[in-house]
Amino acid sequence: MLIRNNFFNDFFGDMFDDPFFNRGYAPQTQLMKTDIREKDGQYLLEIEVPGFTKDDVKAELKEGYLTITADRKEPVERADERTKYVRKERYYGTMKRTFYIGEEITENEIHAAFKDGILKIMIDKPQPKKIEEEKTIIPIEG
């Protein structure tokens, strides 16, 4: 029985180390993929945070930077001698993404919603400020 267990551990370990199973696997680059669109006077950010809940995700605006933070703790499992992980790929921990949106944007111009692992953030586009020309009368001597 011991030989058989070692065989299966080595077999699965070798199998998952094979480049075929690891093709394109770069967990840090796969997290928080974002699409940004412009529509109807707003910017729409759609940020993937799969496996996270609304309570795991936080959006913060500071000095023109919008920072999205997602934090997920690994569940505490009871010790079980019969179960052993061969591979763990699900992400636990904290990830963060920051976007510069400009200092003229306030929190009142940002709206967020979370559904099905997608965080949608709508940012009102800043309206161009009208510069009124001040006319100054220059006295003409003579």
Q: pLDDT tier at 130 (50, 70, 90 boundaries)?
A: low
Does 49 fall in a domain? Answer: yes
Does 14 fall in a domain? Answer: no
Does 41 fall in a domain? Answer: yes
What is the per-residue pLDDT for 24? 46
Range of the domain at 43: 27-74+87-124
CATH number at residue 35: 2.60.40.790
pLDDT in tens, 24-42: 444 444 579 999 999 888 9
Q: pLDDT tier at 112 (50, 70, 90 boundaries)?
A: very high
Does 129 fall in a domain? Answer: no
pLDDT in tens, 53-95: 999 999 999 999 999 999 988 777 776 777 777 887 777 888 9
Residue with tokens 């551990």: 9
Does 12 fall in a domain? Answer: no
The conformation of residue 107, written as its DSSP 8-state character, comes to: G
Quote the CA–CA distance of 68 and 47 in Å, as a whole number. 9
Does 52 fall in a domain? Answer: yes
Provide CB contacts within 8 A for 31, sequence distance 6+. 91, 95
Does 54 fall in a domain? Answer: yes
Q: How many domains does the chain have?
A: 1
Residue with tokens 């690891």: 22
